[in-house]
A = this chain, B = another copy of it.
């Protein structure tokens, strides 16, 4: 790294002497330490030091706790898991190998609401952080760290960590400087109202203020974020988008929404992306996005002139989109604001702005309880992420899923959710490719017919009705046949299908 580049990216002179190699930085990390890494949904993660740490595992036995914003890219979670160096991981991950190790009990995963981690760290509730390792575009003259494509928990990690290692990533656009808005909520019991009342309000600083004495090393890297793994909209996700648009239209007709809708939040993944994508051809205009992650669809909506402003805590794009967006980033800059995840996911703001929150379900039951995390109630998929932060406080908590999985052998609509991440009290609208069910203000017995008829796949409807009518004979606010409640899941485990006819 030549001095000119160092000086350009590290504007605070005192810090220039801290430049070091990833391997050296990784060598400071000891067995039993806790690390706070930047990174949220594959964006803005540190890349070099974690890799060097994995390398060390080849010759040395150690374990660390790893806290992040959300999932990491660059296969880091995979490599961490394979190297066996993780004791505890939180608050979210989305890697197949790590998931396998978690489910085998080889590493501990704490599945946390994404807005909660900062509170736990600030309140000294969980293991304190030895090293915050944070990706940056640059460090300003006054010693502020300018994050890259995500903020995640970086600001609270920087504040609370014993020491800080910074990765300055030359592959991240310097144009990112200026889109961040760092606001610290402060301690519970001592904090003021968060002064954000519109999606595009700026309430903080453009970078993360850091204690320069804590900076132990600065590593230069040059590696793009991992592209997102979303797949393009398909026929079924298009149908889901259409159902959601139909619901929005009925809300407008009822006078509860206007054509500007309300600030939109959409979860990570292909389905949520596809559903947002459906707005492009719609009549809705002057939209705002207040979300945790911006995926491809939001930029398509900006290009289509549909979205005026998008607040986020990370930008996670497909390979093609990433190239396109960062080649003409000037075009998008003034429409984007990036916030710490504590603020993007804060109940205070979500409730105040009255978001429309769209998240993906793994399954939901005939009463509207949603499982977002556990396959068959036991095996972790990714984690709850921000879905609980949003659903619990939004104006409209919408959950979307295809009505079946595994070629129809799994019904996403079941008699009894095998794990509950979002309770019947929190779920407003459920959508599948079959249709939508608006559950607001409905008693459990009113919900069932709507969910079965509007959302379940036709091939499972009779079976759901059978369960419900037997349950009704036993009565109750929420009728169930407890000995059969989880039989759909056990049937799938035994016979490879939830479908009675095939099974017998």
Which A residues lie at the B interface, using CB under 8 A?
88, 90, 102-105, 108-113, 116, 119-120, 123-127, 187-189, 191-195, 197, 254-256, 262-263, 346-348, 351-354, 369, 374, 376-380, 384, 388, 392-393, 395, 418-426, 440-443, 445-446, 471-472, 474-480, 482-483, 485-487, 489-490, 493
Contact = CB atoms under 8 A, between A and B. Distances in A.
A296 B378 CA distance: 43
How many identical chains are in the complex?
Answer: 2
Contacts of A112: 425
A69 B419 CA distance: 31
A256 B352 contact: no
Most buried by B among A189, A352, A369, A486: A189
User: Could you say which of A188, A255, A489 has the most chain B C-beta atoms within 10 Å of its C-beta?
Assistant: A188
A378 B479 contact: yes
Contacts of A191: 197, 352
A425 B376 CA distance: 18
A359 to B, nearest CB: 14
A253 B254 CA distance: 55
Contact of A443 (B110, B187, B256, B482): B110
A195 to B, nearest CB: 6
A123 B489 CA distance: 38
A90 B351 CA distance: 21
B109 A443 contact: yes
Contact of A475 (B105, B262, B482, B486): B105
B423 A352 contact: no
Given A104-B475, A188-B354, A477-B103, A384 B193 contact: no
Given A352-B188, A482-B493, A111 B424 contact: yes
A440 B126 contact: yes
Given A188-B262, A443-B109, A475 B425 contact: no
17 contacts: A105-B472, A110-B442, A111-B424, A111-B477, A127-B441, A188-B262, A188-B351, A191-B197, A193-B352, A374-B476, A376-B482, A377-B478, A388-B425, A420-B423, A482-B493, A483-B490, A486-B486
A439 to B, nearest CB: 10
**Shortest 7 CB-CB contacts between residues of A and residues of B:** A188-B354, A378-B476, A193-B193, A380-B477, A420-B420, A108-B443, A126-B441
A490 B486 contact: no
A112 to B, nearest CB: 7
Contacts of A472: 105
A382 to B, nearest CB: 11
Q: Most chain-B Cβ atoms within 10 A of its Cβ — which of A123, A354, A441?
A: A441
Nearest to A189: B354
A415 to B, nearest CB: 11
A110 B427 CA distance: 13
Nearest to A439: B110
Contact of A384 (B376, B379, B425, B446): B425
A426 B484 CA distance: 28
A427 to B, nearest CB: 12
Contacts of A482: 376-378, 418, 486, 489-490, 493
A130 to B, nearest CB: 16
